[in-house]
A and B are shown apart, each in its own frame.
Chain A
Amino acid sequence: AQSVTQLDSQVPVFEEAPVELRCNYSSSVSVYLFWYVQYPNQGLQLLLKYLSGSTLVKGINGFEAEFNKSQTSFHLRKPSVHISDTAEYFCAEGQGGSEKLVFGKGTKLTVNP
């Protein structure tokens, strides 16, 4: 069965510091990978996605993620965070032929001044 592991449940950082949110996926077959963001009291919105091609994926708000097949990882990075990046971030996995996604448990990013 598919599973997505987000290695940190909470990540506190200071404003303008770099951040990495870690995600490992389980599937050994063709896989699609996603990061979604949830701001307080809102629904989720897509941050970025990997379907195929270049392993470095750029998303909205300056975020990027790197697909690493050998390590089954899809870590999310931002070189300099802002207070407004405070949110919960979810990694998700899909498989070819299915629209369903499996979500990780989420990482709460708190950016402090």
Chain B
Amino acid sequence: NAGVTQTPKFQVLKTGQSMTLQCAQDMNHNSMYWYRQDPGMGLRLIYYSASEGTTDKGEVPNGYNVSRLNKREFSLRLESAAPSQTSVYFCASSIGLAGDPGTQYFGPGTRLLVL
């Protein structure tokens, strides 16, 4: 039982390059999330998916797109990376509102540096 997995662990991009961050969970959770963590800023929600086929913007969605490919997988895409997107990205999942509200399970994170 791996929980929430993220790939890659580290990535260096040049400004303007694109990339996709992958996330998968094996807990049969309904909801999935993408956050970014910056020093002194805490965690900020980028996008959220309440179920397969649905996505919703969070606090800082600009410059990102997401895909909820199936119940297990939720990917985050940077179409044209900018230095302001240098951050640590966390994927998380939760069972859903009817289950255990607020308990989210986090992946180990992806460290992204945009030069």
Contacts and interface: CB of A to CB of B under 8 A. Distances in A.
A78 B96 CA distance: 30
Contacts of B75: none
Contacts, number: 61
B31 A99 contact: yes
Contacts of A53: none
A99 B101 contact: yes
Interface stretch (B12-20, B39-47, B64-72, B77-85): B39-47
A87 interface: no
B102 A90 contact: no
Contacts of B24: none
B28 to A, nearest CB: 16
B90 A101 contact: no
Interface in A79-94: 90, 92, 94
A101 B42 contact: no
A44 B4 CA distance: 11
B101 A94 contact: yes
A51 interface: yes
A103 B42 contact: yes
B90 A32 contact: no
B102 A34 contact: yes
A99 B102 contact: yes
Contacts of A105: 40-42
Given A43-B108, A100-B48, A100-B58, A32 B102 contact: yes
A42 interface: yes
Q: Tell which of B45, B48, B92, B103 has the most Cβ of chain A within 10 Å.
A: B103
Contacts of B94: 99
Given A43-B4, A99-B50, A100-B58, 17 more contacts: A9-B40, A41-B108, A42-B108, A44-B104, A45-B106, A46-B104, A49-B103, A90-B42, A94-B101, A94-B102, A99-B94, A100-B33, A101-B104, A103-B42, A103-B43, A103-B44, A105-B41
Interface of A: 9, 32, 34, 41-46, 49, 51, 90, 92, 94, 96-101, 103-106
